[in-house]
Amino acid sequence: MASKEFLQDLYRTLYTIRVFETRCIQLYRQGLIKGYFHPYLGEEAIATGVCAALGKDDLIISTHRGHGHCIAKGADLKRMVAEVLGRETGYCHGRGGSMHIADLDTGNLGANGIVGGGIPIGVGAALSISLRETGQVIAIFFSDGASNNGVFAESLNLAAIWNLPAIFVLENNQYAVSTPIEESSRDPDLFGRGKGYKVESWPVDGNDVLVVHERTVKAAALCRAGKGPVLMCCKTYRQGGHHVNDPGLYMTKERLEYYSTHEPLTLCKEHMYRGGLCSEADIERIEKDVEQRMEEAIEYAKSSPEPSVEAFLAEVEQN
Ligand SMILES: Cc1ncc(C[n+]2csc(CCOP(=O)(O)OP(=O)(O)O)c2C)c(N)n1
Ligand SMILES: [Mg+2]
């Protein structure tokens, strides 16, 4: 059984992602965030469970919906908010914004605005790990839409024939923009796709952080034993539209209702309350602390300078 401390750590990460996304949506509405912003609301258990099973030296590669991955791998909230607000103190000095945060110090090879773009880069990193014999693994995050991209098949096959230490984490949120999974695949669970390449492939409840964690521990062990890759098809659901300006009117009432309770925070709290392991006061304490840290990060970002026009021009000239 998971310990109280471990469950509290998981809840802290889940809640940090929830608050980060919720507050950033408000900042977006205030005009402080430019461009696209794809919230990870409802999908928090995947990044949290996967990253909790990885070591500090292990790697991840992310997607256009990548804030949760950054946070779960240990990114600094202040630098994240600063990046999203386009400030000089951000991870990419405000040049990348929401879809391009990378943090090599925490093993995060970065988000990617190209759907499926992270998959072959992740396999390249796994090949590098394998050649250098470092014992690391990489978790490659991508969603159902990306799994219909040819590069997924090519990458999975290469990883398979070379037994690479890559965990393919398919975040099946059941939509690619507004296209439901039933319209883009005969097999809406998707894990059958790995079997065709003789890759260990599992259906996973992507909203239960303990399940995701337990599966990732197994996947990482297989990878480190030279039996990779592994495909984890984590079923989840977006708690809203594709991005901040999409009201998601095409989402089905039944599923929204089901996933309003079968969702990461609620399920984690159930684990915490089971057997009297944690109290409401424990949860409240974590939530207050997270909310305060987020407000500090927002203050830091707001008071940070925007990059200067001169700096932009100098970079363009250099390149
Ligand atoms: C190569 C490419 N094609 C199209 C787009 C436009 N686009 C952005 S997100 C998206 C849907 C991606 O769906 P999925 O992979 O399921 O990711 P999710 O948004 O569900 O996390 C599309 C088509 C893009 N960014 N890159
Ligand atoms: Mg999707």
Q: What pLDDT does residue 235 have?
A: 98
Q: Determine the structural domain holding residue 173 and report its residue range.
A: 4-318
Q: Which of 21, 64, 190 best tests ligand 1's pocket when mutated (most atoms within 8 Å of CB)? A: 64
Q: What is the pLDDT along the chain (319 residues), one digit of tens a residue?
A: 889 999 999 999 999 999 999 999 999 999 999 999 999 999 999 999 999 999 999 999 999 999 999 999 999 999 999 999 999 999 999 999 999 999 999 999 999 999 999 999 999 999 999 999 999 999 999 999 999 999 999 999 999 999 999 999 999 999 999 999 999 999 999 999 999 999 999 999 999 999 999 999 999 999 999 999 999 999 999 999 999 999 999 999 999 999 999 999 999 999 999 989 999 999 999 999 999 999 999 999 999 999 998 988 888 887 6
Rounded to whole angstroms, the Cα distance separating 259 from 147 reads 22
Distance between Cα 311 and ligand 1 center (Å): 31
Q: What pLDDT does residue 238 have?
A: 97
Rounded to whole angstroms, the Cα distance separating 291 from 299 reads 12
Q: Which of 64, 115, 170 best tests ligand 1's pocket when mutated (most atoms within 8 Å of CB)? A: 115
Atom of ligand 1 minimally distant from the CA of 148: 15
Over residues 8-31, the pLDDT tens digits come to 999 999 999 999 999 999 999 999
Strand partners, 169: 141, 232
Q: What pLDDT does residue 311 have?
A: 86
Q: What pLDDT does residue 313 have?
A: 87
Distance between Cα 247 and ligand 2 center (Å): 16
> Whose Cα sits closest to atom 13 in ligand 1?
176
Rounded to whole angstroms, the Cα distance separating 69 from 60 reads 8
Q: What is the CATH number of the domain that holds 295?
A: 3.40.50.970
> Whose Cα sits closest to atom 5 in ligand 1?
115
- The ligand placed nearest to the CA atom of residue 242 is 1
Atom of ligand 1 minimally distant from the CA of 147: 15
Q: What pLDDT does residue 87 have?
A: 97
Burial grade of 195 (CB within 10 A; 0-12, 13-18, 19 or more): exposed
Query: Are the beta carbons of 120 and 128 closer than 8 angstroms?
Result: no
Over residues 141-165, the pLDDT tens digits come to 999 999 999 999 999 999 999 999 9
Strand partners, 85: none
Atom of ligand 1 minimally distant from the CA of 238: 20
Q: What pLDDT does residue 319 have?
A: 63
Tokens of 218: 């197994």
Q: How many domains are contained in the chain?
A: 1
Distance between Cα 135 and ligand 1 center (Å): 32
Look at the pTM and tell me if it is higher than 0.75. yes
Tokens of 179: 């296209």
- The ligand placed nearest to the CA atom of residue 46 is 1
Contacts for 277 with CB less than 8 Å, ≥ 6 apart: 4, 7, 271
Alpha helical stretches, state H, the chain: 4-29, 44-52, 67-72, 77-84, 118-132, 150-161, 181-184, 192-195, 209-224, 253-261, 264-273, 280-302, 309-318
Ligand 1, pocket residues at CB < 6 Å: 63-65, 113-115, 143-146, 173, 175-177, 242
